[in-house]
């Protein structure tokens, strides 16, 4: 079974947002970043109070002010900052045109032994054992080859083929080939 579709920058951004919101390792890194950003002003205030040999009441007051004025906002704003920074990075990544074959027209073919993906710039055969999962969300299907990389199938940009039929065949072929490997 075959499908042809067009991947645009917005589709890559949707995938990126999905991974940022669902991948356990990225969510853990985001929580660590929140803690580090929030602790920075507090650590600086504590260090300042030690260097200046402030009385405990004054040091506590400074830490309280820093905590409320800087640490709490930094804690709550960090996830937003993290996602905006990541989106800018993705935009720059695709601006450079170094990732030929990611954006543009793709053709995907399901066969018994592999999944084939063709673009103007590449031809690849993906063994079923290299596919970790297939996930569908509203308007998209992602064929994962690792925790953070996937072939993106935007349902709204289908050029040729039956999208839902193709996705059913894709899932069926993956299940069949995984059960044969066991």
| 72-86, 90-104, 159-173: range with lowest mean pLDDT | 90-104
Q: Is it the case that residue 141 has pLDDT exceeding 90?
A: yes
Per-residue pLDDT tens for 86-119? Answer: 888 888 887 776 677 788 899 999 988 889 999 8
Question: Considering all CA atoms of the chain, what is the largest pairwise distance in Å, rounded to the nearest integer?
Answer: 75
* CB-neighbour burial class of residue 45 (10 A; exposed 0-12, middle 13-18, buried 19+): buried
* CB-neighbour burial class of residue 87 (10 A; exposed 0-12, middle 13-18, buried 19+): middle
Q: Looking at residue 125, which CATH number applies to its domain?
A: 2.30.29
Q: At what angle do helices 24-51 and 9-22 cross, to 10 degrees?
A: 70
- In sequence order, the 6+-apart residues with CB closer than 8 A to the CB of 34 are 74, 75, 78, 79
Q: Choose the final residue of a domain: 61, 95, 129.
A: 95
The per-residue pLDDT for 43 is: 83
Q: Which residue has the higher pLDDT, 49 or 22?
A: 22
Q: Is it the case that residue 181 has pLDDT exceeding 60?
A: no
Q: Give the pairing type, strands 158-160 and 140-144.
A: unpaired
> 88 with 107, same domain?
no
d(CA 73, CA 37): 10
> 73 with 26, same domain?
yes
The per-residue pLDDT for 168 is: 92
Q: Choose the final residue of a domain: 26, 61, 95.
A: 95
* CB-neighbour burial class of residue 57 (10 A; exposed 0-12, middle 13-18, buried 19+): exposed
- C-beta separation of 20 from 123 below 8 A: no
pLDDT band of residue 179 (cuts 50, 70, 90) is low
pLDDT band of residue 159 (cuts 50, 70, 90) is very high
> 30 with 7, same domain?
no
Domain of 147?
A: 2-11+103-181
Q: Is it the case that residue 163 has pLDDT exceeding 70?
A: yes
Rounded mean pLDDT of 141-154?
Answer: 92
The per-residue pLDDT for 152 is: 94
The per-residue pLDDT for 165 is: 93
d(CA 84, CA 20): 11
Q: Is it the case that residue 153 has pLDDT exceeding 90?
A: yes
Strands, sheet with 114-118, edge to edge from the N-terminal-most edge strand: 123-127, 114-118, 104-110, 2-7, 158-160
pLDDT band of residue 180 (cuts 50, 70, 90) is low
Domain tally for the chain? Answer: 2
pLDDT band of residue 46 (cuts 50, 70, 90) is confident
């Amino acid at each position: 079974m075959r499908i042809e579709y067009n991947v645009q920058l917005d589709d890559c951004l949707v995938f990126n947002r999905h991974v940022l919101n669902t991948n356990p390792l990225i969510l853990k890194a985001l929580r660590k970043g929140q803690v580090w950003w929030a602790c920075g002003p507090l650590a600086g205030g504590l260090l300042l109070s030690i260097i200046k040999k402030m009385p405990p009441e004054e040091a506590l007051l400074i830490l309280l002010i820093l905590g409320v004025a800087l640490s709490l906002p930094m804690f709550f704003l960090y996830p937003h900052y993290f996602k905006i920074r990541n989106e800018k990075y993705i935009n720059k990544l695709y601006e450079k045109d170094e990732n030929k074959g990611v954006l543009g027209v793709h053709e995907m073919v399901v066969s018994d032994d592999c999944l084939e993906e063709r673009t103007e710039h590449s031809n690849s055969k993906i063994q079923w054992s290299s596919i970790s999962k297939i996930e569908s969300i509203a308007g998209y299907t992602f064929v994962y080859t690792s925790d953070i990389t996937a072939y993106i199938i935007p349902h709204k940009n289908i050029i040729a083929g039956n999208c839902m039929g193709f996705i059913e065949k894709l899932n069926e072929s993956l299940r069949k080939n995984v059960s044969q490997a066991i």
